[in-house]
Amino acid sequence: MLIGLRAFAGEVSKREEEPSEHFKPSEDRWEIDIGGQLRLRGDFEKNQNFTDFAFTPKQREAQFLERSRLQAAIENRSMNLEVFFQMQWYGRWGGIDARSAFDLYQGYVKWEKIFTFPVSLKAGRQELLYGSAFFIGTNDFYNGLTWDGFKTRISPIEQLDVDVIGAKMVKLNPGDPDITLAGLYETCKIFEEGSLEAYLFYNKGGFPFSHREFFLVDSGQKWFTLGSRFAGKVGGFDYELEPQFQWGKVKRAIGNGKDLVRAYGGHLDIGYTFKLPWELRVFGAYAYGSGDNDPFDGSYREFHGSIFNDSTLYGDMSVITDQSGVTVEKIHASGLQIWVAGISITPLSHLDLTLRVHRFLASKVPTSFSKDLGTELDAAISYKLTKGISFLVGLDKFYTGRFFAKASGSKSNIHYYYIQAQADF
């Protein structure tokens, strides 16, 4: 949470004693909140590159990342009105994908309870994040993900929110596709720590791809995603169930014309936190995405389901980036099955340790190829030095499976290490 410097526009002076009737400050005053963030990180990889995270045996790469954000919010509480700006400078040096960019990361106007009606509007450049980011997240580990557009929230009753969204993805990275997103997201609170959510999105332009999955990005792709999410907490148990179904049209892989999209997927997460001094939590998850290895039948069955998500299902290394699968030396394993098991502890009030194991299997592969993609082991240590200063260290390894060995001719494993410092003010 960013801690800002707060000032009040229009105030002539501040007095310790109560103001007289003639000098009471106006309730219609504007508050100015200024804050920012500085993040520095070093990344080190072996047998993988930082450009598209593809498997590159015998290659080592290191990079230094810097992300600075400066923001200002101007708010009038009596009018339920806020104006927010956030600038970002993002740089990557040392690796092949070296670059530096200065952008308006966010800039929007938010008006809540418009004319006392249960309707709110947020218009301009903004982040979109729902649930655990299985469908859409903020890509926070790197330079983020924002959208130009609007989000209208309608709250007919206290337990129900309906968001209406229309936006276009901001191009913060070279080669980002043109993506337009429109849809509805409903959240119904069914008990104190549980909610039932449902959403329907239209996505024109497809999904961003890593590992060279597509040589031609078709801006005319049309995807519809229908999903639901049931999540909450009961005692020490926490749970999340999120199925999705996708349909639409994409450019045919070979020749002219369009293929019909018919894909499905989802995930189930379960965890339990023990009543122990170290807040021990054990958790597990399973995710599935349909695959397609027949490009000539007129149907496209490969499930994607995410736009730059930050879901922990796929691990920290981006060897596997989403539910669509992975490409190794132009050989594609389509769709994905993921098994996850992990443990986290808090031995000190400001120290957290997490260990996760991810097992990856393909849904569809070419003839004679194994569905065994590999296993990823992630260890992370986070430490909060002060209220605004924190550190994060990650030690990750991907044990490549038989699919990688046959597609690339290499049995090398992938290593990734990082150390990050962040200051919020």
Q: Which domain holds residue 320?
A: 5-424
What does the pLDDT read at residue 12? 34
Per-residue pLDDT band for 14 (boundaries 50, 70, 90) equals very low
In contact, 322 and 303? CB cutoff 8 Å: no
Using one digit for the tens of pLDDT, what is the confidence trace for 60-117? 999 999 999 999 999 999 999 999 999 999 999 987 778 899 999 999 999 999 999 9
> Would you say residue 380 has pLDDT above 90?
yes
Who contacts 13 (Cβ-Cβ below 8 Å, separation ≥6)? none
Using one digit for the tens of pLDDT, what is the confidence trace for 252-284? 877 788 889 999 999 999 999 999 989 999 999
Using one digit for the tens of pLDDT, what is the confidence trace for 334-362? 999 999 999 999 999 899 999 999 999 99
> Would you say residue 6 has pLDDT above 70?
no
What does the pLDDT read at residue 4? 34
> Would you say residue 9 has pLDDT above 90?
no
In contact, 105 and 142? CB cutoff 8 Å: no
What does the pLDDT read at residue 304? 86
What does the pLDDT read at residue 2? 36
pTM beyond 0.85: the answer is yes
CATH code of the domain containing 100? 2.40.160.100
> Would you say residue 425 has pLDDT above 50?
yes
Using one digit for the tens of pLDDT, what is the confidence trace for 152-182? 999 999 999 999 999 999 999 887 878 899 9
Using one digit for the tens of pLDDT, what is the confidence trace for 215-250? 345 667 889 999 999 999 999 999 999 999 999 998
Structural domains of the chain, count: 1
Average pLDDT, the chain: 89
Side-chain half-sphere of 191: how many Cα atoms within 13 Å? 8
